[in-house]
Amino acid sequence: MMDTSTTVQEAFGTFENWKYDENTWFITGLGGSLYMYLLEGSEKALLIDTAYGLCDMKAYCEKLTDKPVIVANTHGHLDHAGGNGFFTEVYMHENAPIDYKTFEGGPCDITKLPHSDFKKRYLKDGDTIDLGDRCIEVIDITSHSNGSLAFLDKDHRLLFCGDELESSQVLMYEIVEAKKNPYDLEMRVRKHKVNMEKLWNRREEFDFCCPGHNGAPIAKEYIQDFIGLSEAILSGTVKVEDKLNHPHIEADPIGAYLCRTRYKKASFFVKKEQLLSMGKRMDMKAVIFDLDGVLVFTDKFHYQAWKKMADGMGIYFDEEINNRLRGVSRMASLEIILERYEGEPLTLQKKEELAEQKNEVYKELLKTMTPEDVSKEVRETLIELKKRGYVIALGSSSKNAKFILQQVDLLDAFDAISDGTNITHSKPDPEVFLKGAEFLGRNPAECLVVEDAEAGIDAGIAGGMKTAAIGDAVNCKKADYVLETFSDLLRILI
């Protein structure tokens, strides 16, 4: 029978090397598909990546150089960081440890390496590693992984770029499911484009790129092709191939969910479902925003005004009841408060008087609002959405919406206003959003509703629109998207 352990050792732990120049070694394994690099300075040498952990790369490098060897990872995936435990400390991106989950089920038990508890030393964009007469600059190019670094060797005119750039394909799907940094294909593609543009802007400082896989060195013009690939994906014009032409990944269960995207010499493997989902995002042409809890926060004023009215009527009212009023019209809110009223039945006229009484108090409180009540993040995001060609509307049940927008200097930011003055039904009825779409001249299917209340999410869905939940609505599973921050809109709307 075949000795399986020997086969694994030969496949994942055997390496060859050759000299690129007097002080630079290319180290390759897996039949030439995996690359590491040893850079020698006058004082010490730097090993970039450590492979799977089945070869003592410290001992291997000490046969090539008599300088003390330090090590840095381009990222934290198993095939690049599995051998870290042969060193007492390793330099890496602060998010690289997220990807250590790839070690599970790997060919090597890294807990048995000599220094499995090696010290992690984190690098950031702009840091330098001085080897003595050879200085290596660190560039953050995170996209493929949760934390990726490139190393620019201006003295030898080489750029070491890990798995973010190579001649065959870059894997753009969640190799590790990480709660800290969940995978969003569009966000990753956008980041990849920005990173490649950053590298291309520095192309006069290096001649070749040295990736972690599939041949090195490669022409720096690959960077331009990867920029073009990202642009093609984001514009919906990318060439998609169902056949991967990669036996190893095709044999993996994940292969059934992947497709190859291609532009000239550049290629990404992506999940086809995620790519199609991006296409749906591209159909959106307009954004309709709720007001309270999304753009501004006037809940405290509503609460104070309703409480004053309720106290005057001897009705119990607290913040829990107030939360039920979110996204609801003034008269409907009054009916909720009156559920605890035990006096004589009220006429419609009396109810209208109570609602107006509340509104007068509320309007006086609104007069204290200023432009400082809108965050810089909100203003900058709205500006960026307009730059990207989106039209935006307000969709609020409040009859005071325009006044509030004037107070905070946001009125001119909107192409249309749909509010309580032009509707007869409040949320979860979709009327306010349908009116907003009508005012914008857009079909409901082209609109994204941004809401902080479940009633608003229901209204958007009822109107045939996509919905994005923010604030108190983030746990609403009916929403199409969840925004942790307002600016997260910019990763949804390309």
Active site amino acids: 290, 292
Please give the helix or strand (H or E) that residue 91 lies within, else none: strand 89-93
In Å, what is the CA distance from 108 to each residue of 2, 16, 79, 112, 318? 19, 20, 11, 9, 59
Return the closest-CA partner of residue 474 out of 464, 484, 463, 462: 484
**CA angle 474-480-484, nearest 5°?**
35
Copy the structure tokens of residue 19: 């000299």
Structural contact between residues 463 and 444, judged by C-beta atoms closer than 8 angstroms: yes
Paired strand residues for 116: none
Return the closest-CA partner of residue 72 out of 17, 7, 137, 142: 137
In Å, what is the CA distance from 385 to each residue of 61, 128, 286, 419, 445? 51, 37, 9, 21, 18
Amino acid at 417: I
The alpha-helical segments, DSSP class H, found in 316-430 are 319-323, 330-337, 348-366, 376-387, 401-407
